[in-house]
Amino acid sequence: MAKPVMLSDEAYKALKAEKREGESFSDVILRKFQKGNAGAILAYYKKRGPNYDLANAVEEASRKLRKNFKTRKVVDL
């Protein structure tokens, strides 16, 4: 089953640059990451380096979620 995936413009351009004639984006990902090889995925991200913009966005979203979180009072029936 296919799944939609959101990519930044930078990630899309990098993926498209790796795409070969007649290859789907799924084919590129499986070829680059050797399907199921967690070591290959980890090596890729270590080579790429940290994404501070993404880390800051996740931290900010988490902060907003915690700030706006409201608990409900549970009533016994």
In sequence order, which ranges of 1-77 are alpha helices (DSSP H)?
9-18, 25-33, 38-48, 52-68
Domain hosting 57: range is 23-68
CB contact set of 23 (below 8 Å; sequence gap of 6+): 31
**Is 5 a domain residue?**
no
**Is 7 a domain residue?**
no
**Is 43 a domain residue?**
yes
Number of structural domains in the chain: 1
**Is 8 a domain residue?**
no
**Is 44 a domain residue?**
yes
**Is 18 a domain residue?**
no
Residue-level pLDDT, tens digit, the chain, 77 residues: 788 888 889 889 999 999 999 999 988 888 887 766 777 777 877 888 888 888 899 999 999 998 888 887 788 77
